Amino acid sequence: MNKDQLEGKWKQVKGEFKQKYGKLTDDDVTYAEGKFDEMVGKLQEKTGKTKEDIEKEIKEW
């Protein structure tokens, strides 16, 4: 999964959350997205893997 595909998937998930939980704001979703990016960064730091490798592992879960 490349970066564009991952971003597209994130937009789909974000849209589904907004539909299911109508009170979520863009700020709420942006915060969640930032926390995900933070988690990926920490995993990179701890494992020494590339962002792409980590995103691939997450996709395969």
Please report the pLDDT score of residue 61 as a whole number. Answer: 80
Sign of CA dihedral 14, 17, 18, 19: positive
Please report the pLDDT score of residue 11 as a whole number. Answer: 79
Tens-binned pLDDT, residue by residue, of the chain (61 aa): 677 777 778 778 877 877 777 777 788 878 888 888 888 899 899 999 998 898 888 888 8
Please report the pLDDT score of residue 1 as a whole number. Answer: 61
Beta-strand ranges (E) seen in the chain are none
pTM above 0.75, yes or no: no
Please report the pLDDT score of residue 49 as a whole number. Answer: 93
